Amino acid sequence: MGELTAAAVQGELGKVADAADAVQLQRFFKTGPGEYGAGDVFIGVRVPKTRAVVKPFAGLPLSEIDVLLDSAVHEHRLAGLVILNGEMARAMRKRGADIARQEQIIELYLAAVRRGRVNNWDLVDASAEFIVGPWLLERPRALLFELAEQESLWQRRVALLSSFAFIKAGDAGTTIELCERLLSDKRDLIQKAVGWMLREIGKRVDRSILTGFLDVHAPAMGRTALSYATEHLPAEQRAHYRSLR
């Protein structure tokens, strides 16, 4: 392994890129005009290969991770986020916790989110709960409501997916509040995220919290969100909530 640089990461990804996969990925991630991933560029590296490539790059300087996040190439940005996840995990595991390092990571990540570099659902889903979620677990969560108030599809999805870390810790309160605020956003990727997080609350925290939410909100929920949220409920109960729309 040579120097720990963004260019080295990009070079290693280039070695395993596949032009045929690039065509399929551009179609899958909706990169056509007017679609949510419009204009994004893929070189054709699947997620397992990306994760394998970045393993030797643990400790990549944050400035170099930022270079990856500013790349026009989707897989470069994903690689940067995967490396950043590892940096956050290490900073949190350090004896006494390296708060200053965690703050640097959070600032870098949020800056990338706000300038539109974490800009597809896989990028959000692969990073938000592992970077923002753990950081806010024992802190005030106003940041998530600020993100949820933005018009940006990706900032809103970051808010929701960050709260997955709370759900996994048995805390559903923040997610419920976020879902209530975002229920009227009919964009498909927000509807899916709302329904997914509600479903996980029912699965991991308490099914009565999910059904309590549905008792109040099911009539106003979009079809997609309701379908995702009720997926693990018994058939009769699922049919009941879906009939309320």
Instruction: For the domain made up of 127-245, give the CATH fold.
Output: Leucine-rich Repeat Variant (1.25.10)
Give me the pLDDT at residue 3, please: 87
| 207: DSSP letter | H
Give me the pLDDT at residue 201, please: 98
Give me the pLDDT at residue 94, please: 80
pLDDT tens, residue order, the chain (245 aa): 568 999 999 999 999 999 999 999 999 999 999 999 999 999 999 999 999 999 999 999 999 999 999 999 999 999 999 999 999 999 999 876 799 999 999 999 999 999 999 999 999 999 999 999 999 999 999 999 999 999 999 999 999 999 999 999 999 999 999 999 999 999 999 999 999 999 999 999 999 999 999 999 999 999 999 999 999 999 999 999 999 98
Q: How far apart are CA 137 and CA 155, in angstroms?
A: 19
1-119 has CATH 3.40.50.300 classification: no
Q: How far apart are CA 66 and CA 223, in angstroms?
A: 38
- Per the structure block, which two tokens stand in for 67? 């270079």
Q: How far apart are CA 207 and CA 144, in angstroms?
A: 24
Q: What percent helix, strand, coil does the chain show, rounded to 5? A: 70, 0, 30
Put simply, whether the predicted model's pTM sits higher than 0.85 gets the answer yes
Q: How far apart are CA 172 and CA 131, in angstroms?
A: 18
Q: How far apart are CA 10 and CA 158, in angstroms?
A: 25
Give me the pLDDT at residue 143, please: 98
Q: Do the domains 127-245 and 1-119 match in fold? A: yes
Taking the domains of the chain in order of start, what are their residue ranges?
1-119, 127-245
Instruction: Say if residues 78 and 50 touch (Cβ distance below 8 Å).
Output: yes
Q: How far apart are CA 234 and CA 241, in angstroms?
A: 11
Give me the pLDDT at residue 2, please: 66
Question: To which residue do tokens 């997080």 refer?
Answer: 197
